[in-house]
């Protein structure tokens, strides 16, 4: 589960350590000017299914998708923002769409991450209401809130709690570019919109006019986060270079927003031949080069078909073998001070310590049972992870109230990839005084998690590691015990 030791104190004190681990990248391309859109591009593809909001998170009851038109209505009585986020992450892309707004203030969010305890950090482009074409940034929260008393469904007293699941509704926003752009469209007319997120450059275009240009550099981190970016963190090594795409309707407004023809084109690494001055992109749009993306997007139909196939394989007994002999820690690496094995059970006592397999795994189905005592315990299972000096970096199947069953990236600014959507529903799913069965499936970019027979996350993550160690976590904190048994794995071809 999420490590609260330094992170409860200050976001600023930990941002760069996380970012350096999460976004480390090798050598970049040579700088060569190319026309806009040339070189290494995929074709445009639909961001959403034309008839459903599958693989989306947020306020799904407020949004609808019919015949390729995404619609949301806002009431003047609504006091909180209404969100919809596509549960895919994108780094370098061109996003095109058409929109119209009948009074509702619509914002497109991109390179969005959910940072513990639920802060939604993202760039935002205004594409509806009275103002069009502005560029902003939602600041992440600074601290974890802590529980002070025992409440069902909440963290144990003294541990960081989750607020506003699946994410905090409101946040401070930093204005990056004020466009002053005014459309002459009536409320019935559609506006053509485009967002280019290409390396360290961001451009917003409304009806063919570039309304915002911005360069994400040291000045951005100073302005948006109040910190100086160390020189060694540049380009893709810096945080907020990839994330989800979605939409936000502002509160206290009345009207309807519609979006259609939502298409995305993805790229690999992007280099601009004219770096531009701090805070704005280069003088021209056509002086960048991109490599091809390292992935091909998965369609919703293929995504659903593979999910069905993988869950079916997880329910079959054939092909699984144990990774725990029931009496020793042979095949695992850690300090025996915090971990022990006997009578078919691995036990851990508090300290942020990991018990790690001595073998790396890539594509697999992992099954097991876990028990936390008391119920406010705090643990997790790492998969496809790397061992680092103070723990592990990588995917974690979170275990502990209120985080049970979510997918989090430990030691990383990538944050929570699949948050808990309903705190009390998840709380009633777990067995607080008994064993809980979990399943973790990794196949290519596809990652699935099950808790006591219910799927708690199902996503395709193009930027996550595809191989690494498996680790069991025991968290620092109050006296507690975590126990694991029946650990079995099936490696997939």
pLDDT, tens digit, 9 for 90 and up, residues 175-200 = 999 998 877 778 789 999 999 999 99
| 232-238 long-range Cβ contacts below 8 angstroms, 24+ apart | 232/20, 233/16, 233/19, 233/20, 235/25, 235/28, 235/199, 235/200, 236/23, 236/25, 236/91, 236/269, 237/19, 237/20, 237/23, 237/24, 237/25, 238/19, 238/23
Among the residue ranges 25-29, 116-120, 309-313, 396-400, the one predicted with the least confidence is 25-29
> Does residue 252 have a pLDDT over 60?
yes
Among the residue ranges 6-20, 172-186, 353-367, the one predicted with the least confidence is 6-20
Helix spans in 249-406 (H): 300-314
- Are 250 and 97 spatial neighbours (Cβ–Cβ below 8 Å)? no
What's the confidence (pLDDT) of residue 58? Answer: 93
Q: Is the pTM of this model over 0.85?
A: yes
Give the whole-number percent of the chain exceeding pLDDT 70: 86
Structural tokens at position 255: 């009207």
24: burial class by Cβ within 10 Å (0-12, 13-18, 19+)? Answer: exposed
For every residue of 183-198, DSSP letters joined together read: ----TTS-EEEEEEEE
Comparing 253 with 356, the larger pLDDT belongs to 356
Comparing 164 with 288, the larger pLDDT belongs to 288
What's the average model confidence in pLDDT over 1-6? 45
**Which residue intervals of the chain bear CATH 2.60.120.560?**
15-294, 304-491
> Does residue 397 have a pLDDT over 50?
yes
Cα three-residue angle 133-137-143, rounded to 5 degrees: 160
Query: CA-CA distance, 176 to 201, in Å (whole number)?
Result: 12
Query: CA-CA distance, 427 to 207, in Å (whole number)?
Result: 48
The partner residues of 469 in beta bridges, in order of sequence, read 360, 385
Cα three-residue angle 249-298-410, rounded to 5 degrees: 70
Strands 481-491 and 345-348: antiparallel
> Does residue 44 have a pLDDT over 60?
yes
The model's confidence at residue 227, banded by pLDDT at 50, 70 and 90, is confident
Query: CA-CA distance, 311 to 218, in Å (whole number)?
Result: 45
What's the confidence (pLDDT) of residue 265? Answer: 97
User: Dihedral (C-alpha) 373, 454, 344, 401: value to the nearest 10 degrees?
Assistant: -20
> Does residue 29 have a pLDDT over 90?
no
Burial readout 378-400 (b: 16 or more C-beta within 10 A, e: otherwise): bbbbbbbbbeeeebbbbbbbbbb
The model's confidence at residue 228, banded by pLDDT at 50, 70 and 90, is confident
Comparing 41 with 102, the larger pLDDT belongs to 102
CB atoms within 10 A of CB 66: 10
What's the confidence (pLDDT) of residue 39? Answer: 44
Query: CA-CA distance, 119 to 113, in Å (whole number)?
Result: 8
Query: CA-CA distance, 248 to 270, in Å (whole number)?
Result: 27
Query: CA-CA distance, 155 to 146, in Å (whole number)?
Result: 8
183: burial class by Cβ within 10 Å (0-12, 13-18, 19+)? Answer: middle
Helix/strand/coil percent split, the chain, to 5: 10, 45, 50
Q: What is the mean pLDDT of the chain?
A: 85
Query: CA-CA distance, 145 to 161, in Å (whole number)?
Result: 6
Give Cα 67 distance to the centre of its chain: 28
61: burial class by Cβ within 10 Å (0-12, 13-18, 19+)? Answer: exposed
Among the residue ranges 4-18, 52-66, 135-149, 371-385, the one predicted with the least confidence is 4-18
Which CATH number applies to 304-491?
2.60.120.560
User: Dihedral (C-alpha) 161, 163, 168, 174: value to the nearest 10 degrees?
Assistant: -50
The model's confidence at residue 15, banded by pLDDT at 50, 70 and 90, is very low
What's the confidence (pLDDT) of residue 475? Answer: 82
Find the helix or strand (DSSP H, E) in which 221 lies. Answer: helix 218-225
> Which phi and psi (to 5°) does residue 424 adopt?
-75, -35
Taking the CA of residue 156 as centre, how many other CA atoms within 13 Å lie in the half-sphere pointing to its CB?
Answer: 19
> Does residue 2 have a pLDDT over 70?
no
The domain defined by 15-294 carries CATH number 3.90.1150.10: no
For every residue of 437-460, DSSP letters joined together read: EEEEEEETTEEEEEETTEEEEEEE
DSSP state of 224: H
Among the residue ranges 52-56, 129-133, 175-179, 230-234, the one predicted with the least confidence is 230-234
> Does residue 348 have a pLDDT over 50?
yes
What's the confidence (pLDDT) of residue 37? Answer: 43
Give Cα 152 distance to the centre of its chain: 26
Report the range out of 37-41, 221-225, 295-299, 349-353 with the highest average pLDDT.
Answer: 295-299
- Are 407 and 393 spatial neighbours (Cβ–Cβ below 8 Å)? no
């Amino acid at each position: 589960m999420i490590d609260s030791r330094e992170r409860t104190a200050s976001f600023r004190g930990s941002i760069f350590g996380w970012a350096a681990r999460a976004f480390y990248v090798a050598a970049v391309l040579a700088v060569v000017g190319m026309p806009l859109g040339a070189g290494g591009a995929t074709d445009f593809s639909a961001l959403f299914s034309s008839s459903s909001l599958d693989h989306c998170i947020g306020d799904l009851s407020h949004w609808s998708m019919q015949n390729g038109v995404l619609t949301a209505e806002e009431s003047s009585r609504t006091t909180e923002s209404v969100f919809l986020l596509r549960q895919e992450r994108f780094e370098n892309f061109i996003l095109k769409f058409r929109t119209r707004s009948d009074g509702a203030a619509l914002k497109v969010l991109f390179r969005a991450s959910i940072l513990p305890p639920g802060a939604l950090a993202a760039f935002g482009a205004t594409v509806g209401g009275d103002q069009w074409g502005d560029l902003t940034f939602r600041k992440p929260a600074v601290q974890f809130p802590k529980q002070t008393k025992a409440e069902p469904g909440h963290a144990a007293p003294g541990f960081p709690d989750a607020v506003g699941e699946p994410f905090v509704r409101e946040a401070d926003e930093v204005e990056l570019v004020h466009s002053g752009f005014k459309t002459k469209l009536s409320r019935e007319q559609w506006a053509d919109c485009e967002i280019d997120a290409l390396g360290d450059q961001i451009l917003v275009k409304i009806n063919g006019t570039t309304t915002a240009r911005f360069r994400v550099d040291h000045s951005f981190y100073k302005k948006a986060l109040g910190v100086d970016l160390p020189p060694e963190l540049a380009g893709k090594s810096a945080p907020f270079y990839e994330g989800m795409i979605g939409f936000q309707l502002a509160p206290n407004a009345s009207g309807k927003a519609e979006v259609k023809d939502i298409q995305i084109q993805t790229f690999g690494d992007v280099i601009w031949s004219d770096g531009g001055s701090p805070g704005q992109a280069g003088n021209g749009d056509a002086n960048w080069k991109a490599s091809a993306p390292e992935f091909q997007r998965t369609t919703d139909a293929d995504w659903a078909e593979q999910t069905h196939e993988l869950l079916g394989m997880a329910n079959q007994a054939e092909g699984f073998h144990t990774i725990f002999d029931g009496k020793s820690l042979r095949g695992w690496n850690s300090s025996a001070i915090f971990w022990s094995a006997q009578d078919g059970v691995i036990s851990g006592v508090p300290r942020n310590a990991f018990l790690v397999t001595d073998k790396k795994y890539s594509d697999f189905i992992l099954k097991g049972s876990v028990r936390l005592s008391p119920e406010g315990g705090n643990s997790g299972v790492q998969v496809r992870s790397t061992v680092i000096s103070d723990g592990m970096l990588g995917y974690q199947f979170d275990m502990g109230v209120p985080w049970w069953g979510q997918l989090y990236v430990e030691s990383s600014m990538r944050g929570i990839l699949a948050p808990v959507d309903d705190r009390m529903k998840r709380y009633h799913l777990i067995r607080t005084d008994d064993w809980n069965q979990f399943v973790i499936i990794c196949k290519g970019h596809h990652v699935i998690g099950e808790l006591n027979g219910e799927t708690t996350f199902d996503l395709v993550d193009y930027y996550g590691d595809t191989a690494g160690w498996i680790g069991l976590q025991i968290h620092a904190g109050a006296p507690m015990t975590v126990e694991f048994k029946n650990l079995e794995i099936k490696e997939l071809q």
